[in-house]
Structure 1
Amino acid sequence: MNGRLEHELKLNNNVKKILNDMPQCVSDFYMSIQAVRSPNTCLNYVRKLHHFLDYIDVEDISEIDADDIARYLEHIKYVKDGNGEIKKSSVAYTKLVCCTLNRFFDFLYRRGDIERNPMDNVNRPIRKDSIKRVFLSMNDLNGILGAVKYSYMPKEWHSRDYAILYLFMVTGMRKTALSEINLSDLNFETHNLTIIDKRDKEQVYQLNDDSIRVLRDWILDRDKILYNMGIKEDALFISKNGKRMDPQTIYCMVVKYAEKGIGKHVSPHKLRAAFASLYYKETKDIVATKNAVGHADIQTTSIYTVEENNSRKEATEFMSKNLSSKI
């Protein structure tokens, strides 16, 4: 099965499971957006509506007003991270919640279920998150790859993990697209790898000999694993049960090796940013970098490119040359 289709069907099934416990109007809202929004976006909307309605706990949705929404926004102001520690929610998360609620109540208003959209009277965040972008050097990337050698995974899985990390680093592709690759998407004669990226846009990567060798090493191990399991599977990257690896599993794998290799929290998205930053540092060509990373516009690419912050160090050295350091 096509990797993108398989992923979409899985997301759609997750949506339907959540909708079973929700009012009919939420299902109607989902049906109104599912043709124009991506399955992942629809899932995010439904999840946020489920959390909101579960917290508000009213029998009649038409009774929800701006005060209820403000109370909910205060409730989600602080969240627990993976370690159970309380931290402040990001502005981006709050904006996404407000966007979801606005679209939902606007749908109910246009359908005539409510007299007005309560979000019209809700103050929404306008500031942006302060994001500290970390520059990853080639040494950092090699350190992450090196961590695979010391993994406790059985040897036959080392080639898989190495191939995933290597492919992220040499292409800068997104984790969802990587998880959806099928063996048939690789053309070993032309060295082409064709993927379906965000917004169903086709991307074709031209791989070099080293990349092909890394992938071939894994494919040989992959074929042996599937043969011993008696399983047929189209996915290029499989889990221990012989099925396609999902994006979250790939995310956790990247984080694990980065922590072991360089002691930093590095996600697949940060590897994508590293790809853009290092390529731009080498070429100083923002257009070429935009095309390489697959962005629609240069402004997005400029956000991704992070350079080593040596300006202050250089300025200090420049000034100290002519200043006396003795009292």
Structure 2
Amino acid sequence: MQAWLDGYCAHLRSERQASAHTEAAYRRDLAKLIEHCAAVQVSQWEQLTTAHLRRIVARLHQHGQAPRSLARLLSAARGLYRWAHREGLCTHNPAVGLSAPKGERKLPRVLDTDRAQQLLDGAVENSFHARRNQAILELFYSCGMRLAELCSLDLDHLDLPAGLVQVTGKGNKQRVLPVGRKAREALQQWLRERGAGNPKGRALFISLRGERLGPRAVQVVMAKAGAQELGQHLHPHMLRHSFASHLLESSQDLRAVQELLGHADISTTQIYTHLDFQHLANVYDQAHPRARRNKEPEQ
């Protein structure tokens, strides 16, 4: 079973161009599945049936495994068997048609527009770190890109005169995003300071030692900005969520938001319609005379 796992992960790397994070997650899930196969007397992938897999998923769920984690495990299993079928190793896929237990779908946390302005509109020191960090914040909120997409940006990906940036998303898919005026200004100011870091390459965002800024370093930048400017925890995806929610609230164009976010399936983008509806429901509760509750109990 380990040989299949190694072969599938090599396929993810070389042919699917999966990120190291995705490959590691799938490897962990399939290694966990191998462990649980022993409990149902399965020692080879060809022996695993839908009934076996259903029992394993049910057992994991009973022991507290989150529905999202189980869904990812099933996705990894489906991918493994598709690869095995293509390689002529088996003819069935026990994960097809099997779905994880439904879990409560949590809406992503977002900043409202006032809080986003509070985060971004403060005074910025004319220093290497301050200009870099401001450019990072502005670019996240202006473009809605993912953390990995921002960290992989090179100077060549940026076209400030045209107000565009090219990013490489999941599955090595590229897309071009518009960069807003405030983000362009912040980037111009950062580029004037960037040379102080003695850059060792073409990375857009670097440390003072000249090295490309990694995901963990960007997360620290965000956390500090959230604590200092807002008094709350802030992470990169919160600005991505805020970008999507505010854009959809203003434009009502779900397809455009899908394209900008780089979602392969529009159902992923539809969660922001729930956020928009929640906002409208709150406005209704506060404004409509028939919705407002009396503060004083009736006598």
Superposition TM-score tier, normalisation by shorter sequence? 0.7 to 0.9
Report deviation, 1:214. Answer: 0.6
CA distance in 2: counterparts of 1:321 and 1:77, whole angstroms: 41
Residues 3-59 of structure 1, C-alpha deviation per residue, up to 9 Å, x if partnerless? xxxxxxxxxxxxxxxxxxx9433222223444442322333222323455467789x
1:221 aligned onto 2:196: no
CA distance in 1: counterparts of 2:62 and 2:209, whole angstroms: 39
Residues 159-199 of structure 1, C-alpha deviation per residue, up to 9 Å, x if partnerless? 11111111011111222211111012223443332222333
Provide the residue aligned with 2:150 in structure 1: 178
RMSD: 4.1
| Aligned residue identity for 1:221 | E
Report deviation, 1:236. Answer: 0.5
Change (3 A) 1:251 1:47: farther
Provide the residue aligned with 2:106 in structure 1: 131
| Structure 2: tracts of 5 or more residues without a match | none
Provide the residue aligned with 1:30 in structure 2: 9
Residues 123-161 of structure 1, C-alpha deviation per residue, up to 9 Å, x if partnerless? 7524244213434212221333368969xxx95212111
From 44, 54, 66, give the equivalent of 1:90: 66
CA distance in 1: counterparts of 2:171 and 2:82, whole angstroms: 24
CA distance in 1: counterparts of 2:82 and 2:157, whole angstroms: 41
Report deviation, 1:234. Answer: 0.9
CA distance in 2: counterparts of 1:148 and 1:54, whole angstroms: 55
CA distance in 2: counterparts of 1:67 and 1:75, whole angstroms: 13
Provide the residue aligned with 1:246 in structure 2: 214
Change (3 A) 1:242 1:104: same
CA contact (8 A) 2:37 2:43 kept: no
From 47, 56, 81, give the equivalent of 2:28: 47
Report deviation, 1:218. Answer: 1.6
Provide the residue aligned with 2:284 in structure 1: 311
Partner SS, residue 207 of structure 2: coil
From 195, 200, 203, give the equivalent of 1:232: 200
CA distance in 2: counterparts of 1:252 and 1:264, whole angstroms: 13
Provide the residue aligned with 1:162 in structure 2: 134
Partner SS, residue 310 of structure 1: helix
Partner SS, residue 39 of structure 1: coil
Report deviation, 1:106. Answer: 6.4
CA distance in 2: counterparts of 1:45 and 1:225, whole angstroms: 37
Change (3 A) 1:129 1:249: farther
Residues 250-304 of structure 1, C-alpha deviation per residue, up to 9 Å, x if partnerless? 2443344334433444432232221122122223344444454455565443322
CA distance in 1: counterparts of 2:263 and 2:99, whole angstroms: 29
| Aligned residue identity for 2:26 | Y
Residues 229-258 of structure 1, C-alpha deviation per residue, up to 9 Å, x if partnerless? xx5221101235432223344244334433
Provide the residue aligned with 2:119 in structure 1: 144
CA distance in 2: counterparts of 1:73 and 1:239, whole angstroms: 47
Provide the residue aligned with 1:201 in structure 2: 173
From 171, 183, 187, give the equivalent of 1:211: 183
CA distance in 2: counterparts of 1:183 and 1:201, whole angstroms: 19
CA contact (8 A) 1:94 1:125 kept: yes
CA contact (8 A) 1:95 1:124 kept: yes
| Aligned residue identity for 1:224 | A
* Farther-moved stretch of structure 1 (241-250 vs 290-299): 290-299
Alignment TM-score, normalising by the size of structure 1: 0.68
Partner SS, residue 318 of structure 1: coil
CA distance in 2: counterparts of 1:214 and 1:144, whole angstroms: 14
Residues 63-118 of structure 1, C-alpha deviation per residue, up to 9 Å, x if partnerless? 9867698568745766xxxxxxxxx5431211111222344366568868789877
Alignment TM-score, normalising by the size of structure 2: 0.74
